[in-house]
Amino acid sequence: MRDPGLVRDGAVLVRDGNIIAVGPRRRVTRLSEAPGAKKLDLGGRVVLPGLVDSHTHLVFSASRAAEYEQRIAGSTYEEIARKGGGILSTVRALRRAKPQALKTRVLAALRQFSAHGTTTLEAKSGYGLDIKSELATLRLLNELHQEQPLDIHRTFLGAHAVPPEFHGRADAYVDFLVAKLIPRVALNGLAEFCDVYCDRGAFTVAQARRVLMAGRAFGLVPRLHAEQLARTGATRLAIELDAASADHLEKINPADIRALAASDVVATLLPGCCFHLGIPQYAPARKLLDAGAAVALATDYNPGTSPILSLPMVMSLACTQMRMSPAEAIAASTINPAYSLRRQMHIGSIEVGKFADLAIFDVEDYREIPYYVGVNHCVMTFKRGEVIYSREGT
Ligand code: NIG
Ligand code: FE
Residue 4 belongs to some domain of the structure: no
Residue 247 Cα to ligand 2 middle (Å): 8
Containing structural domain, residue 82: 51-340
Q: Is 394 helix (H, G, I), strand (E, B) or coil?
A: coil
CATH number, domain containing residue 132: 3.20.20.140
Evaluate whether residue 243 is within a structural domain. Answer: yes
What is the per-residue pLDDT for 309? 98
Q: Are 269 and 357 contained in the same domain? A: no
Q: Give yes or no: residues 162 and 177 share one domain.
A: yes
Task: Clarify whether residues 59 and 17 are in a common domain.
Answer: no
Q: What is the mean pLDDT of the chain?
A: 97
What was the pLDDT predicted at 217? 98
- Asked if residue 345 is part of any domain, the answer here is no
- Please check whether residue 163 lies inside any domain of the structure: yes
**C-beta of residue 34 within 8 angstroms of C-beta of residue 60:** no
Structural domain includes residue 188: yes
In this structure, are 55 and 29 located in the same domain? no
Q: Report residue 331's pLDDT band, with 50, 70 and 90 as the boundaries.
A: very high
User: What ranges in the chain are assigned the alpha helix state H?
Assistant: 25-29, 65-72, 77-82, 87-96, 99-115, 131-147, 170-176, 182-187, 205-217, 234-240, 254-261, 271-277, 285-291, 311-322, 326-331, 335-340, 368-371
Tell me if 308 is assigned to some domain: yes
Q: Are residues 25 and 61 in the same domain?
A: no
Question: 302-311 pLDDT, tens per residue?
Answer: 999 999 999 9
Same domain, 19 and 115: no
- Same structural domain for residues 29 and 93? no
Give tens-digit pLDDT for 226-250: 999 999 999 999 999 999 999 999 9
Q: Which residues have C-beta under 5 Å from ligand 2, the single-atom ion?
A: 300
Q: Are residues 59 and 120 in the same domain?
A: yes
Q: How confident is the model at residue 393 (pLDDT cuts 50, 70, 90)?
A: low
Question: Is the CB of residue 57 below 6 angstroms from any atom belonging to ligand 1?
Answer: yes
For residues 27 and 122, state if they share a domain.
no
pLDDT at 394 over 80: no
State the CATH number of the domain containing residue 42: 2.30.40.10
Q: How far, in Å, is the centroid of ligand 1 from the Cα of 348?
A: 25
Are 304 and 221 in the same domain?
yes
Ligand 1 pocket test target in 228, 229, 305, 314 with most atoms within 8 Å of CB? 305
Asked whether residue 1 is assigned to any structural domain, the reply reads no
On whether residue 3 sits in a domain, the answer given is: no
Mean pLDDT of 154-179: 98
Q: Is the pLDDT of residue 91 over 80?
A: yes
Q: What is the mean pLDDT of residues 31-51?
A: 96
- Count up the domains in the chain and report the number: 2
For ligand 1, atom 12: residue with the closest CA: 305
Q: Based on the domain organization, do 134 and 243 belong to the same domain? A: yes
Q: Is 90 in the pocket of ligand 1 (CB under 6 A)?
A: yes
Contacts of 241 (CB under 8 A, 6+ apart): 209, 212, 213, 216, 222
Residue 32 scores a pLDDT above 80: yes
Mutation to probe ligand 1, out of 63, 71, 87, 162 (largest number of atoms < 8 A from CB): 87
Last-in-domain residue among 318, 340, 362: 340
Q: pLDDT-derived band of residue 392, with 50, 70 and 90 as boundaries?
A: confident
Share of the chain above pLDDT 90, in %: 98
Do 287 and 362 share a domain, yes or no? no
Give the mean model confidence (pLDDT) for residues 264-270. 98
Instruction: Give 333-383 as a DSSP string.
Output: TTHHHHHHTT-TTTSSS--TTSB--EEEES-SSTTHHHHSTTS--EEEEEE
- Give the atom of ligand 1 at the shortest distance from the alpha carbon of 300: 1
The 8-class DSSP code of residue 47 comes to: E
The whole-number pLDDT of residue 275 equals: 97
> Which ligand neighbours the alpha carbon of 91 most closely?
1
Question: Helices 131-147 and 99-115, interaxial angle, to 10°?
Answer: 50
